[in-house]
Structure 1
């Protein structure tokens, strides 16, 4: 197909269809691209060189498609406000958004079932779902739009459609689809290198992108036939889950008690490999799932020595290395084939050939109870961010940024007291029975055991320094009495 214009017959077929509902699956463990990605800052939130995150690119790409009237996102409850912030920067026209919030991960089939059941109720059984991973990169949006239009025609005929990427190399990190035109012959697991080379040479195989296009009534019918336990568990869960609607947004917070009965299974295993109504759209859309530091590094142009640098690095006799260090200077001498990633609280040094093994480090951190697997030094909250500047025996210093018109919960700490110093902006502070304004260069003291709240009443960010002191400074030493964000 020509990248610029849809064929007339395809244009006519798409215009005759109903609503297209993009469903963005946003989550991840934050293991493969550690230390930049973490459990509470997974790959979709990573910024690329142009300043946009993968999640923002996914939203903008989906919102630009014809027939889209809103976007539905399935994500973890803890990532809701971070996701909303990301969308706000690329949604100037206020396209309505809806959210299905999972208490914990249960793979992609339960997420799809929840989306289909929600869409049946709120959009209609004849709507078409375009299921997209939030952490994929697509560099040819016009080709993607054409592939989506083709997929919608196939979906309208009752097919569950997947997007097959024409392979450019014998990749062993992807699943494959053997296809004859639009007909899927079989799905193949990630092959060894020799078999992947045979697949590439045959011309019959496509990379399995993990993106899907299917009508709501089709996917519900197929779930009932091939994965009834998934459908039944999510039907019960949605029935027990509260829904909140307003200001162009809707959200459903899945009840944890019933959600735990949902089987942990992927869309491929639950449906695509079992159904007889599966089609594929072969396409060349500039797709990558950026599944390792090697894949991410290849987005940049190499210098004459094969090195790629994001940030500042000084090199002597260095070849075929990738360095990401946006905040500090990194020096390399006499090395090759290394990945070096520097963040404020962690550094990764890896052989390029072992880029897929980075997850072993996060597994060790998690086993040891180290917070670096879960959080950055800068931590995002619904009201803004805090950054740990320094900590030691019985003290911790934080930089706190509160967004305009946002407030922290009314809370109390058992084991620590806090000094707050306003750097810029004006804070409204509740300190016990008192309510006061604290302006730039002013401070206040919060004793342990006292109810308190911090609020930014202004139109600019409130920036503060917080000095904590006490016998225990853990983030779990908090009792919330009132909270606008539904936290307990």
Structure 2
């Protein structure tokens, strides 16, 4: 009998939330959300729908995940060298029966309205049982430039759009037939693998070789290096004719940058001064003079000061530190 399996992707480093997020402890494992982490919340919210959980994560932080995975109903696939989401999902699909339904979720999203969320997932499972590749789109409530978009009509995808500039995002909102791309997917293991083989045979074959050579769920770093690094969006979702989208109303944020974290913390009562400035990570007295909508982030070894509107640019700072082999990563 086919099972429903939550595939949790946890290979990212959360570069736009540096310095809170580090390689050794990425953002999804930081207990910022009323004492819980995004990973912990992700596992819990899907348990009412799925039979098992498969976590595909980095060897650097897999031990952080294990305490939150359901005992006797979970499996861990450890990437020594992550090769993007197309391969990560392929590993999980190879570990399943062909008719198993995979609900693929990132580990760093914040979702509210559990009842509506579960209802949408169940709708996705029904579509996946008909051999569709299902993606979930979020109804936008602002012209967001940090998310990709899906142009749609009913449950049909007309196009996928990259992160837009502000004017384009406003136009998307005005037109009313665009959804935020949530990065949550649902499909049969076999259908995903068929489409991956069809569009990216090199990714399919290399991923299969790596999976079959794995030892106790740990993948070979040397073999993994041969896998082309492709996202599921580019490798499959933007190219397949089997795609369906479900417009969704549950409250969603990918918590990918400080503007998202700021909005969440503000709603939860975190202190914000009269000019919209916020301090994260310290109880020390901080005074902002002559600036507004600015976020100060404190850690023991680093300070970040960023305008809320420039939160996406923290990724560029992270890349500079990475290029310089900084120990602060």
**TM-score per shorter chain, which class?**
over 0.9
Work out which of the residue numbers 130, 137, 143 in structure 2 matches 1:170: 143
Work out which of the residue numbers 252, 271, 280 in structure 2 matches 1:309: 271
Assess if the C-alpha contact under 8 Å between 2:108 and 2:256 holds in 1.
no
Work out which of the residue numbers 49, 74, 78 in structure 2 matches 1:97: 74
Describe the shift of the 1:302–1:334 C-alpha distance in structure 2 as closer, same or farther (beyond 3 A). farther
C-alpha deviations, 1:109-130, integer Å up to 9, x for none?
00011111111xxxx2111000
Assess if the C-alpha contact under 8 Å between 2:136 and 2:246 holds in 1.
yes
> Which stretch shows the higher mean deviation, 146-155 or 223-232?
223-232
Q: How big is the alpha-carbon RMSD for the aligned residues of Structure 1 and Structure 2?
A: 1.9
Aligned to 1:420: none
Q: How do 1:61-460 and structure 2 match up within 5 A? A: 61-65=45-49, 68-85=50-67, 87=68, 91=70, 94-119=71-96, 124-243=97-216, 252-301=217-266, 308-309=270-271, 318-373=274-329
Q: TM-score, normalised by structure 1?
A: 0.65
Describe the shift of the 1:196–1:332 C-alpha distance in structure 2 as closer, same or farther (beyond 3 A). closer
Is 1:30–2:14 an aligned residue pair?
yes
Q: TM-score, normalised by structure 2?
A: 0.94
Residue 49 of structure 1 and its aligned partner are, at CA, apart by: 3.7
Larger radius of gyration: 1
Describe the shift of the 1:191–1:367 C-alpha distance in structure 2 as closer, same or farther (beyond 3 A). closer
Pick 1 or 2: higher relative contact order, CA cutoff 8 A, min separation 6: 2
Assess if the C-alpha contact under 8 Å between 2:136 and 2:184 holds in 1.
yes
Is 1:42–2:26 an aligned residue pair?
yes
Describe the shift of the 1:208–1:18 C-alpha distance in structure 2 as closer, same or farther (beyond 3 A). same
Work out which of the residue numbers 40, 50, 66 in structure 2 matches 1:56: 40
* Aligned-partner Cα distance in 2 for 1:128–1:323: 43
Assess if the C-alpha contact under 8 Å between 1:184 and 1:278 holds in 2.
yes
Residue 334 of structure 1 and its aligned partner are, at CA, apart by: 4.4
* Aligned-partner Cα distance in 2 for 1:107–1:274: 17
Assess if the C-alpha contact under 8 Å between 2:145 and 2:165 holds in 1.
yes
Assess if the C-alpha contact under 8 Å between 1:272 and 1:278 holds in 2.
yes
The 3-state SS of whatever aligns with 1:81 is: helix
> Which stretch shows the higher mean deviation, 27-36 or 270-279?
27-36
When you count strand as a share of all residues, which structure comes out higher? 1
When you count helix as a share of all residues, which structure comes out higher? 2
Gaps of 5+ in 1: 1-16, 244-251, 374-488
Residue 167 of structure 1 and its aligned partner are, at CA, apart by: 0.8
Aligned to 1:452: none
* Aligned-partner Cα distance in 2 for 1:280–1:327: 44
